[in-house]
Amino acid sequence: MAEKSFKYVILGGGVSAGYAAREFAKQGVKPGELAIISKEAVAPYERPALSKAYLFPEGTARLPGFHVCVGSGGERLLPEWYPEKGISLILSTEIVKADLPSKTLISAAGETFKYETLIIATGSTVIKLSDFGVQGADAKNILYLREIDDADKLVEAIKEKKNGKAVIVGGGYIGLELSAALRINNIDVSMVYPEPWCMPRLFTSDIAAFYEGYYAKKGVKIIKGTVAVGFDAHENGEVKAVKLKDGRVLEADIVVVGVGGRPLITLFKGQVEEEKGGIKADGFFKTSIPNVYAVGDVATFPLKLYNEIRRVEHVDHARKSAEQAVKAIFAREQGKSIDEYDYLPYFYSRAFDLSWQFYGDNVGDTVLFGDSSPDSSTHKFGSYWIKDGKVVGAFLESGTPEENKAIAKVARVQPPVDNLDELAKEGLTFASKI
């Protein structure tokens, strides 16, 4: 097969790839210089839609509606945008070998791609229960959610199992968003997770109590402190029951597993420096190998605000790190300099009629403010995290755009706080004064 050569190659076709492509176009990439190689069959799209509007019975999201860069209020890059800009969008192509010293990528079909500069944007892959040898975990209708193909299988299952029973394994992002989406589709939902409360990586027990109470009111059954240890299937191979460690057995027509992901970096093992489970990068997303950059989920980078090295799995960072890497590539070529990446961690979620945002770091003491009763008519409440006498993180449910901007500013500025009881009383007013 003929060898194809490009000045720049983005490996991966997710959110990072789309935002990087837009930045390449802004920076004046010439036709024929850039290729995106993706194992998915579609142009880059905004992945968060898959656990939200893609699954809604009404107001459903479908491509081309959520191609990048609509997720951040930008122009939508339709599949034809790429060739119009002279960018090669190479889809349905899985790279099985990456040789960084020779700057060569080889696909499953045996095609060879050469590059001068590589951006690794391979993202994460879901952790599957079959990876741990869970009995029956390969039954039909045990589903995961990472790519549009996964979402299509879930949409199909929802249609097939009208008014059926679903078990969601996991109480994190995916668990909470999919429980809501399935409930909206009138599916009977049970959510199972081993932790003492939902979303434990971010939520305090106080914050989680609101969501657990709210979900219970919406009819979601919550089962905490246990895990799925096996599955039973019908003769046709479809799942029919989930066996829990505590001995309970839950009927299920659909099982969705959301127990986390891991960065897709196996192609580069032993070729590039790693740290904290990702590829080590600097404040420009350069790796230990010249002309190789890593962005999004796979990058472990210096988080300037906290003076430490982190890996961040979130769409906001996927977008911004991709743009930073491309700016850095062009700055290097032009002998210019740009500022190092100065990221403020940001996470958000939307489910039912709820919508929360979090900025900063969730360490130290916490102060809850507002009305956090699941029966509240406004649902408006929040939390501050205080470390070394300063506010370092802020969370807000049902905030207005102005209020969300205010909590972001607090997390960035890190104002001092003397009295935690006063802070609880002031609540949002404290943020709006910064």
User: Does residue 243 have a pLDDT over 80?
Assistant: yes
For residue 5, the cross-strand partners are: 114
What is d(CA 91, CA 112) in angstroms, rounded to the nearest whole number? 15
pLDDT at position 303 is 97
The gap from C-alpha 223 to its chain's centroid, in whole angstroms, comes to 24
Phi and psi at residue 288, to the nearest 5°: -70, -10
The residues near 408 (Cβ < 8 Å, ≥ 6 apart) are: 344, 346, 357, 359, 394
Closest alpha carbon to 318 in 292, 350, 347, 289: 347
DSSP 341: P
Residue 377 CB burial class (10 angstroms; 0-12, 13-18, ≥19): exposed
Reported as a single tens digit per residue, the pLDDT across 298-340 is 999 999 999 999 999 999 999 999 999 999 999 999 999 999 9
Residue range(s) of every CATH 3.50.50.60 domain in the chain: 3-125+262-333, 129-259
User: Does residue 22 have a pLDDT over 90?
Assistant: yes
Residue range(s) of every CATH 3.30.390.30 domain in the chain: 353-432
Computed over every residue of the chain, the mean pLDDT equals: 97
What is d(CA 406, CA 412) in angstroms, rounded to the nearest whole number? 10
* CATH architecture label of 353-432: 2-Layer Sandwich (3.30)
What is the pLDDT confidence band of residue 46, given thresholds at 50, 70 and 90? very high
Residue 68 CB burial class (10 angstroms; 0-12, 13-18, ≥19): buried
What is the pLDDT confidence band of residue 90, given thresholds at 50, 70 and 90? very high
**Strand, coil or helix: 99:** strand
Q: What mean pLDDT comes out for the span 212-220?
A: 98
DSSP string, 259-286: --EEE--GGGTTTS-EETTEEE--TT-B
Strand pairing category for 165-169 and 188-193: parallel
What is the pLDDT confidence band of residue 2, given thresholds at 50, 70 and 90? confident
Do residues 50 and 151 make contact, with C-beta atoms less than 8 angstroms apart?
yes
Strand pairing category for 3-11 and 34-37: parallel
What is the pLDDT confidence band of residue 387, given thresholds at 50, 70 and 90? very high
What would the CATH number be for the domain defined by 129-259? Answer: 3.50.50.60
What is d(CA 70, CA 15) in angstroms, rounded to the nearest whole number? 11
Q: What mean pLDDT comes out for the span 98-103?
A: 98
pLDDT at position 169 is 97
What is d(CA 158, CA 182) in angstroms, rounded to the nearest whole number? 8
Cis ω before 69 (30° cut-off from 0): yes
The residues near 298 (Cβ < 8 Å, ≥ 6 apart) are: 120, 121, 122, 123, 124, 263, 264, 265, 278, 279, 311
> Which two tokens mark 182?
């399935």
Reported as a single tens digit per residue, the pLDDT across 356-369 is 999 999 999 999 99
Residue 3 CB burial class (10 angstroms; 0-12, 13-18, ≥19): exposed
The residues near 368 (Cβ < 8 Å, ≥ 6 apart) are: 204, 206, 207, 381, 382, 383, 424
Helix boundaries (H) for 240-355 = 315-333
Calculate what percentage of the chain has a pLDDT beyond 70: 100
Q: What mean pLDDT comes out for the span 219-237?
A: 97
In terms of phi and psi (left: phi > 0; alpha: psi -120 to 50; beta: otherwise), the region of 220 is beta
Residue 98 CB burial class (10 angstroms; 0-12, 13-18, ≥19): buried
User: Residue type for 15, please?
Assistant: V
Model confidence pTM above 0.75: yes
pLDDT at position 386 is 98
> Which two tokens mark 183?
């409930």
The residues near 160 (Cβ < 8 Å, ≥ 6 apart) are: none
Phi and psi at residue 221, to the nearest 5°: -85, 130
Reported as a single tens digit per residue, the pLDDT across 153-211 is 999 999 999 999 999 999 999 999 999 999 999 999 999 999 999 999 999 999 999 99
CATH topology assigned to domain 3-125+262-333: FAD/NAD(P)-binding domain (3.50.50)
What is d(CA 50, CA 46) in angstroms, rounded to the nearest whole number? 8
User: Does residue 1 have a pLDDT over 90?
Assistant: no
What is d(CA 68, CA 229) in angstroms, rounded to the nearest whole number? 38
User: Does residue 141 have a pLDDT over 90?
Assistant: yes
